Chain A
């Protein structure tokens, strides 16, 4: 069962359950004050505005008690996917490197973006080809990826960058970077391949009736 952790202020938890169910997974929302169910085989940290984005996006949720269980599960190899606010929570909790902070525009960006698949050799990207361009929606005010130069080089060397913002033809340019992210980074792996975070929303691009199913491949990563 995939546990979609619902914090106060999460708002993509239902979308995640619905998209995962459509892919044939058993998925349930789990309130952050409840324990993770024993039968948890995967974890989604969904988008939203947990704790009203107080202090920094994801800062409060990252220190909530359930995140201890999430970190323990991740250490045992349970796949964990953080989306948008869930990506901020992943970075704030140390599950994934870097930080997602205020967009360079200082505005909330709500639009469709193109992403280039940088590493197709992970469970989260196996459905794609390396270099493939997919389209996903973003909706965030704090999505600018930041990391010090030394650790960024390590991240690149270790092939832990999953997606970069690009144009329709796959060119990674400043114009195609919606939030000023370092290296146009939109999604990264944690210390192990089982943990990934990304700012764009695969669960909002997974149901055929919504006209775009480019995100299904990311969610399919729970199959392993």
Chain B
């Protein structure tokens, strides 16, 4: 078994309004910064033991599918590296 860190990145689907990001963008503009757009992502780092990287990725993918992301509004991606 090898210890891996699976990084799960969850973001709103394109086109879904993100009021917190909009508010943050406006606050940056008030501070004088110029920017076109700002997006939030949520990143989860999951340490787990698995036989190989594929197994670690499969398990992290299931975690994202079943809890970390809401498929109605989110897209997600999983990246695995040895811890």
| Interfacial residues, chain A to chain B (CB-CB below 8 A) | 55-56, 59, 63, 91-92, 97-99, 101-106, 144, 146-148, 180
Q: Which of A56, A63, A106, A146 contacts B23 (CB 8 A)?
A: A106
For the complex, give the distance between the alpha carbons of A97 and B18 in Å.
20
Q: Number of B interface residues at 8 Å Cβ cutoff, please give it.
A: 13
For the complex, give the distance between the alpha carbons of A56 and B17 in Å.
16
Main secondary structure of the interface of A (DSSP, over half): loop
Cβ A180 vs Cβ B70 within 8 A = no
| Interfacial residues, chain B to chain A (CB-CB below 8 A) | 16-20, 22-23, 66-68, 70, 72-73
How close is B43's CB to chain A, nearest CB, in angstroms? 13
Contacts of A104 in B (CB 8 A): 17, 19
Cβ B68 vs Cβ A105 within 8 A = no
A-B contact pairs, 6 of them (CB 8 A): A102-B18, A103-B19, A104-B17, A106-B19, A106-B22, A148-B72
Cβ A55 vs Cβ B72 within 8 A = no
Cβ B20 vs Cβ A99 within 8 A = no
Measured CB to CB, the nearest residue on chain A to B66 is A63
Q: Which of A56, A97, A106, A180 contacts B20 (CB 8 A)?
A: A106
Q: Which of B22, B66, B67, B72 contacts A147 (CB 8 A)?
A: B72
Beyond A106-B19, A146-B73, 10 extra complex contacts between A and B, CB < 8 Å: A55-B68, A59-B70, A91-B72, A92-B70, A97-B72, A98-B72, A102-B18, A102-B19, A106-B20, A180-B19
